């Protein structure tokens, strides 16, 4: 019986592709073990978003080769696609395309004992449909419906690693949703640019409408979306349909127009603010979270203060903040005015503290209000889950996974909202 392990160093899309590959191997009769256990083949899903991510990818390869010299190592994904000759120790290298064929490449390697390298040119790639029904979370499933990026932000290498935008066919989205809906209450639609799903007459709002009409999935969540991709059709759908999660994660990256221009982001802070206010007017309790990069080349103290003040003005529900990290091959790597590491750490700390305050304020605004949660797992005397607007909640007692529970918020503590079932409230 062949044993394998998988290790993901990247994003949610990477995680999905990782689990899809693991599922395919288990279907062939392979046994999955933990990474860094002795096994026949170890599969590393690499990341190239920063130089540090690339270094971690190489380090994982070298570490397992030192520990288990006889284990075959398969390097997959973005860093493999941009292979700079530093992962030649790997036995199998697969780039952006042909991830579906990884089980076949593993078989071939063990038959021939010859190294395999599959690095295709990234132009004109078709969408590669990778599916799985196995996720660590027993209530929430992911479905990758889009890949690639046409945006070419000055700090990002992903368009060079994953190629141009492409999408799953609508009928395939519906077919996969029907399968997942039998086992999960919520589906998270994910992609490199999820909001740019679709070709010709297809688009994100249309495919979500079909999912609502043609499947019995209880909740649909969008993983991340650019502000320029949120149109009237999508806002209207979220406004009217209870089964569409009331949460949008909209990366802003900076709250300073001069920094946004250097980043090659396709909007201004004024345009961003106008769109957020429009969404909130239509969907008052919606959670809007964001991604932010601090310490971008040339970011002055004045530009950081602009950003900090803009974050407070928007009142995001929470903020994922990252210090700028150089990625060779991007325009930003060559820019002058690289910001000192200590300054970047101080700015990360300031925004992290702001995010905690904003999250607490957002949560406390729900005390006394009604909502529904999906039960995910037991935690001591409680059951944990999430609401439509992505508020983590705990309810006393143990409930079956995937159960939809009507609740009322009554307390907030340490980033968790405590709730009571509506029909269990003390009158």
pLDDT value of position 427: 39
Task: Give percent above pLDDT 90 in the chain.
Answer: 89
Q: Report the pLDDT averaged over residues 251-270.
A: 98
CA–CA distance, 138 with 128 (Å, rounded to integer): 25
Q: Report the pLDDT averaged over residues 330-358.
A: 97
CA–CA distance, 77 with 250 (Å, rounded to integer): 25
CA–CA distance, 195 with 192 (Å, rounded to integer): 9
CA–CA distance, 329 with 310 (Å, rounded to integer): 30
Q: Report the pLDDT averaged over residues 228-238.
A: 97
Task: Give percent above pLDDT 70 in the chain.
Answer: 99
CA–CA distance, 417 with 394 (Å, rounded to integer): 6
Q: Does the pLDDT of residue 353 top 50, yes or no?
A: yes
Strand partners, 379: 382
DSSP state of 323: E
Find the length of the chain. Answer: 427
Q: Taking the C-alpha atoms of 92, 97, 102 and 107 in order, what is their torsion angle to the nearest 10 degrees? A: -70
Banded model confidence at residue 137, pLDDT cuts 50, 70, 90 = confident
Q: Does the pLDDT of residue 425 top 60, yes or no?
A: no
pLDDT value of position 377: 92
pLDDT value of position 171: 97
Give the burial string for 151-184 (b: 16+ CB within 10 Å, else e).
bebbbbbbbbbbbebbbbebeebebbbeebbeeb
Q: Does the pLDDT of residue 294 top 60, yes or no?
A: yes
Q: How far is CA 232 from CA 180, 205, 275, in A?
A: 28, 9, 10
Banded model confidence at residue 85, pLDDT cuts 50, 70, 90 = confident
Q: Does the pLDDT of residue 426 top 60, yes or no?
A: no
Q: Does the pLDDT of residue 160 top 70, yes or no?
A: yes
Residue whose C-alpha is closest to residue 382's, from 424, 325, 420: 420
Q: Does the pLDDT of residue 83 top 80, yes or no?
A: no
Q: Report the pLDDT averaged over residues 46-57.
A: 91
CA–CA distance, 34 with 37 (Å, rounded to integer): 6
pLDDT value of position 424: 66
Q: Report the pLDDT averaged over residues 221-244.
A: 97
pLDDT value of position 305: 98
Q: Does the pLDDT of residue 1 top 90, yes or no?
A: no
Residue whose C-alpha is closest to residue 324's, from 355, 303, 309: 303
Banded model confidence at residue 58, pLDDT cuts 50, 70, 90 = very high
Domains defined along the chain, listed by start: 3-118 (3.40.50.12160), 122-245 (3.30.750.210), 248-358 (3.30.750.200), 370-424 (2.40.50.140)
Q: Does the pLDDT of residue 136 top 80, yes or no?
A: no
Residue whose C-alpha is closest to residue 287's, from 347, 354, 361: 361
Starting at the edge strand found earlier in the chain, the sheet holding 287-294 runs 247-249, 287-294, 319-323
pLDDT value of position 414: 84
**Is the pTM higher than 0.75?**
yes
Q: Does the pLDDT of residue 229 top 80, yes or no?
A: yes
CA–CA distance, 224 with 26 (Å, rounded to integer): 30
Q: Does the pLDDT of residue 166 top 90, yes or no?
A: yes
Query: What mean pLDDT, rounded, does the chain reach?
Result: 95
């Amino acid at each position: 019986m062949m044993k394998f392990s998988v290790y993901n160093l990247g994003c949610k899309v990477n995680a999905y592709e990782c689990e899809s590959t693991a599922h395919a191997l288990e279907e062939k009769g392979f046994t999955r073990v933990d990474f860094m256990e002795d096994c026949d083949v170890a599969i590393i899903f690499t990341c190239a978003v920063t130089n540090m991510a690339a270094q971690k990818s190489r380090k994982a390869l070298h570490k397992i080769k030192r520990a288990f010299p006889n284990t075959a190592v398969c390097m997959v994904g973005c860093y493999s696609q941009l292979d700079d000759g530093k992962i030649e120790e790997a036995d199998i290298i697969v780039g952006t395309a042909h991830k579906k064929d990884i089980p076949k490449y593993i078989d071939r390697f063990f038959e021939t004992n010859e190294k395999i390298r599959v690095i295709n040119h990234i132009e004109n790639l078709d969408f590669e449909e990778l599916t799985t029904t196995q996720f660590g979370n027993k209530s929430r499933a992911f479905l990758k419906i889009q890949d690639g990026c046409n945006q070419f932000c000055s700090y990002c290498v992903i368009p060079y690693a994953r190629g141009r935008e492409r999408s799953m066919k609508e009928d395939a989205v519906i077919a996969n949703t029907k399968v997942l809906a039998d086992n999960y209450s919520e589906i998270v639609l994910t992609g490199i640019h999820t909001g740019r799903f679709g070709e010709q007459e297809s688009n994100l709002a249309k495919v979500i409408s079909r999912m609502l009409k043609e499947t019995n999935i209880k909740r649909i969540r969008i993983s991340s979306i650019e502000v320029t991709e949120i149109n009237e059709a999508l806002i209207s759908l979220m406004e009217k349909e209870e089964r569409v999660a009331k949460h949008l994660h909209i990366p802003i990256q900076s709250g300073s127009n001069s920094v946004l221009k250097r980043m090659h982001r396709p909007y201004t802070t004024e345009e961003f603010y106008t769109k957020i206010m429009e969404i909130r007017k239509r969907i008052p309790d919606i959670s809007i979270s964001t991604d932010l990069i601090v310490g971008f080349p040339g970011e002055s103290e004045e530009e950081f203060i602009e950003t900090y003040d803009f974050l407070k003005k928007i009142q995001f529900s929470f903020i994922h903040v990252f210090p700028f990290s150089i990625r060779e091959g991007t325009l930003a790597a060559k820019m002058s005015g690289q910001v000192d590491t200590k300054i970047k750490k101080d700015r990360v700390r300031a925004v992290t503290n702001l995010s905690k305050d904003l999250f607490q304020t957002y949560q406390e605004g729900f005390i006394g209000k009604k909502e529904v949660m999906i039960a995910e797992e037991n935690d001591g005397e409680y059951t944990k889950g999430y609401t439509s607007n992505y508020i983590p909640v705990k309810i006393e007692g143990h409930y079956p996974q995937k159960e939809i529970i009507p609740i009322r918020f009554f307390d907030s503590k340490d980033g968790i909202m405590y709730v009571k079932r509506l029909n269990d409230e003390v009158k």
